[in-house]
């Protein structure tokens, strides 16, 4: 079946650096993408989302870029802090109605480690 | 903000027994909830979609008779792992759908260990 995958399983950066986490998706029907942060032993925490009619969206210290041509999604974290250390997942979904609404397919995940 | 509560957060059970996990939406109604399973160092895999007042929809490869889902009210879905085996040991996470896709909220997961 179609799936969402990540290029890099681990990313190690110094505090203050910018981090970029990448994700490839394959389901062309997906029209909604979300980045989640997961700390050890906890559920996913929403970071930022983007709809397929956009190519960029910015939040506080985070930016999500969507390239539908190559089916690629990225999360940029500015001035990365030790508290940003976690596993980051991209997820894709479809905003259509019915039972698929809210059903997400998660990517592989990237472990981000921020060194002080 | 919207909160989804899972209970218990951790459970250890003996092989062959059944375990029930609860997922509650605390301040909103959720006609649909989703159950995911996550093995160590892996991603979340959707197991089933739980619909209030109707049967759950299971993903391919998930045994519906082993993972019983009951969504009896607009704020509660339960997942029962029946006749648990060590290979069922995993992190089980639910999400509840409120209004709009921004209305998706995840619980903090349940760590199940089957001995």
DSSP A58-104: E-SSEEEEEETTTTEEEEEESS--GGG-EEEEEEEE---SGGGTT--
B58, closest residue in chain A (CA to CA): A99
pLDDT at B102: 65
Q: What is the dihedral of CA B56, A27, A63, A34, to 10 degrees?
A: 0
How would you class B14 by CB atoms within 10 Å of its CB: exposed for 0-12, middle for 13-18, buried for 19 or more? exposed
Per-residue pLDDT tens digits for B17-74: 999 999 999 988 998 999 999 998 899 999 999 998 889 999 999 999 999 999 989 9
The 10s digit of each residue's pLDDT in A21-51 is 999 987 998 999 999 999 999 999 999 999 9
Who has greater pLDDT, A1 or A81? A81
Using an 8 Å CB-CB cutoff, list chain B residues near A34.
Answer: 101, 104
Residue A106 clears pLDDT 90, i.e. is over it? yes
Q: Does B6 contact A108 at a Cβ distance shorter than 8 Å? A: no
Is residue A1's pLDDT more than 60? no
pLDDT above 80 (res A109): yes
């Amino acid at each position: 079946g179609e799936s969402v995958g990540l290029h890099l399983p681990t990313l190690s950066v110094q505090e203050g650096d910018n981090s970029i986490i990448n994700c490839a998706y394959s389901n062309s029907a997906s029209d909604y993408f979300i980045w989640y942060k997961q700390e050890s032993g906890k559920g996913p925490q929403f970071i930022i989302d983007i709809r397929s009619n956009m190519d960029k969206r910015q939040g506080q210290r985070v930016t999500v870029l969507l390239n539908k041509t190559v089916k690629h999604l990225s999360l940029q974290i500015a001035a990365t802090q030790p508290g940003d250390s976690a596993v980051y997942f991209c997820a894709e979904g479809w905003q259509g109605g019915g039972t698929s609404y809210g059903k997400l397919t998660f990517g592989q995940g990237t472990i981000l480690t921020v060194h002080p | 903000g919207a909160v989804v509560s899972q209970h218990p957060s951790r459970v250890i059970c003996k092989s062959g027994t059944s375990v029930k996990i609860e997922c509650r939406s605390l301040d909103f109604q959720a006609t649909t909830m989703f159950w995911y399973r996550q093995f160590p160092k892996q991603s979340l895999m959707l197991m089933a979609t739980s619909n209030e007042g109707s049967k759950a929809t299971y993903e391919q490869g998930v045994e519906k008779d082993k993972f019983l889902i009951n969504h009896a009210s607009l704020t509660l879905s339960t997942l029962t792992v029946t006749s648990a085996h060590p290979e069922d040991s995993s992190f089980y996470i639910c999400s509840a759908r409120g209004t709009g896709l921004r209305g998706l909220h995840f619980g903090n997961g349940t760590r199940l260990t089957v001995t």
